[in-house]
Amino acid sequence: MADKMTKAQRHYCMSRIHSSGTKPEIRLRRALWHMGFRYRVNDPRLPGKPDIVFGRYRTVVFVHGCFWHGHQGCSLYTVPKTNVEFWVSKVERNKVRDSAVWRRLEALGWKVVVVWECQLKKAVFEETVLRVKDEIVSGGKEYRERIALARQLREKSRKERAERKARDKYFSQEIKAKYSR
C-alpha cells in the first residue's frame, strides 16, 4: 500500500471516506486510492470518458446510475408511470451507447468494469470495493501478459527474418561460386 501521508492527513482522508454525504463514486475512488491504486478521472482521451482510469492496469471503471443506464432486475430501475415510452426509449438509447463504448475500449485493449450505483450502498460497499480491486489487478495482469506475448512474437519474427536473410545470402554466394567458374 502506498502511504506517504501524515497521521493527521490520513485521519482526515479516512473521515472523508466514511462521511455519509459523499457521492458514492467518490467514496469508491477514495477507497481504491487508499489501497494504493492511482488513477485519472473522466479521461477525455478515451471513448466514453470513463469515470476512473487505471492506466497502469489498463482498466477503466464506469459508475452507472441504475436508472439512466438501465440496470436490469434492479429495484432502482423503475420506469415512471407516465411517459413510459419516452423513458424506456431514452434508457435503451443509453444502453446502446454504453455497450458501443465498452466495445471500443475493449478493442483498444482496456478492461471495462461497470459498478452500479446500487452496488455502492453502505451494506454492500466493501464487497464492491474488493470486487473492483480484484478486477483491476487481473486487468493489469492480463495487460502485462499481452505485452510479454507481443514482445515474444516480435522477437521470434525478428529472429526468423535474420535467419532467412542469412540463408538467402548463403545460397546466393553458393550460386555465384557455381556459375562464375
Contact predicate 113/50, CB 8 Å: no
Burial of 139 (0-12, 13-18, 19+ CB in 10 A): buried
Minimum CB separation of residue 84 from Zn ion in Å reads: 19
Q: For residue 2, give Cα distances in angstroms to 8, 10, 32, 37, 112.
A: 16, 12, 11, 8, 24
Minimum CB separation of residue 76 from Zn ion in Å reads: 5
Comparison of 59 and 128: residue with beta carbon closer to Zn ion: 128
Instruction: Please name every residue paired with 53 in a beta bridge, in sequence order, or none if there are none.
Output: 40, 60
Minimum CB separation of residue 87 from Zn ion in Å reads: 16
Comparison of 33 and 87: residue with beta carbon closer to Zn ion: 87
Comparison of 121 and 176: residue with beta carbon closer to Zn ion: 121
Residues binding Zn ion (CB under 5 A): 66, 71, 74, 76, 116, 118
